[in-house]
């Protein structure tokens, strides 16, 4: 085997890649999914109640809300701007605090408190903002609330859906770039006859497959990191994150090479990809619905590559939490090597004979 020939094929594929719609789709998809799921629907998936305040007198209420982590506060200068924002569902609620509001409350007067509620806001956010506002008014009045509230949490705090969508985008970034690109590149060369021309030269099928795998690994690695960056999920352990993302990229490229070697043409490749799609993407559903039995996700091979990224990038876990996942992923990849070898021998014999 010649590494020089393999790298020449890799450089050729990398240079010609942008001509392929699938190659370009692998680059565009993470940006598109991030925009659709995290930006366009950002207000729908917002984890915190969004409150806009027009404070005309430096109220204590505004200062208190600024200190709260559980409320997303926006300060505006105009009541009309605030009302327009609430109507457009940019805010769950809006509050107008008139000049002298605090002094009027402390003196026993009943000043007007304008609270606007968005028609599309979640009921839970309405309750939170309404109760919080009334409680803060009582604090300004320096009076005790009518009841004492005892809060008990059952289980762990759930992650917002915007965070739980990260594995969905990540899975697409990994397996479109890492699996679909090398598979389609290999099939395209079969259909165009360029692979046959290569294999009657000193180039071996194993060198071609390694070059395709390196292409998929490189592209998947770059797009996976770009996806994590776009979704603000780079975590705090850069070295470990590089390791788990590289392992996932290599795993996806092994699958792609196997699919490409096993496919006779584009039709059979798409059939194989669609047929195996459930096994590739099923694990991400368990991040969206954490109440489902999580052990089921472990039955799918791609779980062992996406979960280490989730653990390190999102949950901030260390190597002790992901080493077993990486070991299982490596075992699955190694088990595919003999299959790929057999497919490459069959492919070379068939193409040379033709």
pLDDT in tens, 154-169: 444 456 677 788 898 9
Domain boundaries 50-141, corresponding CATH code: 3.40.1710.10
C-alpha dihedral sign at 270, 22, 314, 317: positive
Summarize pLDDT for 53-75 with one digit per residue, the tens.
Answer: 999 888 888 988 988 877 889 99
Q: Which is nearest to 187 in space by CA: 273, 247, 121?
A: 273
Q: How far, in Å, CA of 116 to CA of 136, rounded?
A: 17
Could you give the strand order of the β-sheet that contains 72-75, starting from the edge strand earlier in sequence? Answer: 72-75, 50-55, 93-97, 114-117
Pairing of strands 114-117, 72-75: unpaired
pLDDT of residue 130: 81
Q: What is the pLDDT tens value at each position of the chain, 354 positions in all?
A: 678 888 888 998 988 888 888 899 999 988 888 887 766 555 555 557 889 999 988 888 898 898 887 788 999 988 899 999 998 888 888 988 888 888 888 887 878 888 888 876 766 677 778 878 888 887 877 765 554 444 444 444 456 677 788 898 999 999 999 999 999 999 999 888 888 888 777 888 888 999 999 999 999 999 999 999 988 888 889 999 999 999 999 999 999 999 999 998 899 898 888 888 888 889 999 988 887 898 999 999 999 999 999 999 988 899 999 999 999 999 999 999 999 989 888 887 777 666
Question: Tokens 């729908």 appear where?
Answer: 44
Going by the DSSP 8-state scheme, the letter that residue 295 receives in this structure is G
Q: How far, in Å, CA of 106 to CA of 350, rounded?
A: 90
Residue ranges of the chain assigned to CATH 3.40.1710.10: 50-141
Q: How far, in Å, CA of 214 to CA of 7, rounded?
A: 9
Question: Tokens 């994590």 appear where?
Answer: 228
pLDDT of residue 150: 47
């Amino acid at each position: 085997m010649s590494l020089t020939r393999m790298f020449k094929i890799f450089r050729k594929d990398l240079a010609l890649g942008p001509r392929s719609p699938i190659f370009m789709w692998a680059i565009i998809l993470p940006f598109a999914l991030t925009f659709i799921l995290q930006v366009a629907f950002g207000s729908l998936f917002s984890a915190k109640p969004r409150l806009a305040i027009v404070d005309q007198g430096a109220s204590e209420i505004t200062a208190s809300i600024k200190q709260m982590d559980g409320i997303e506060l926006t300060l505006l200068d105009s009541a009309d701007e605030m009302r327009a924002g609430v109507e457009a569902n940019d805010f769950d609620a809006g509050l107008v605090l008139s000049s002298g509001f605090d002094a009027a409350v402390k003196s026993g007067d009943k000043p007007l408190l304008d609270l606007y509620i968005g028609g599309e806001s979640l009921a839970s956010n309405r309750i939170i903002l309404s109760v919080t506002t009334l409680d803060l008014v009582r604090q300004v009045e320096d009076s005790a609330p009518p009841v004492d509230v005892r809060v008990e949490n059952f289980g762990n705090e759930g992650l917002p859906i915007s965070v739980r969508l990260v594995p969905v985008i990540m899975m697409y970034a990994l397996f479109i770039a890492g699996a679909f690109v090398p598979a389609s590149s290999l099939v395209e060369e079969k259909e165009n006859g360029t692979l046959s021309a290569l294999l009657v030269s000193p180039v071996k099928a194993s060198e071609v497959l390694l070059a395709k795998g390196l292409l998929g690994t490189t592209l998947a690695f770059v797009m996976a990191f770009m996806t994590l960056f776009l979704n603000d999920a780079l975590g705090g352990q850069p070295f470990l994150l590089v390791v788990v993302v590289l392992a996932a990229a290599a795993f996806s490229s092994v699958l792609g090479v196997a699919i490409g070697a096993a496919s006779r043409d584009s039709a059979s490749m798409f059939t194989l990809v669609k047929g195996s799609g459930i096994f590739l993407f099923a694990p991400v559903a368990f991040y969206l619905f954490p109440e489902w039995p999580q052990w089921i996700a472990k039955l799918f091979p791609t779980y062992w590559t996406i979960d280490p990224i989730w653990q390190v990038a999102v949950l901030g876990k260390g190597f002790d939490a992901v080493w077993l996942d990486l070991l299982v992923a490596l075992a699955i990849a190694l088990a595919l090597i003999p299959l790929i070898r057999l497919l490459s021998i069959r492919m070379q014999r068939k193409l040379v004979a033709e």
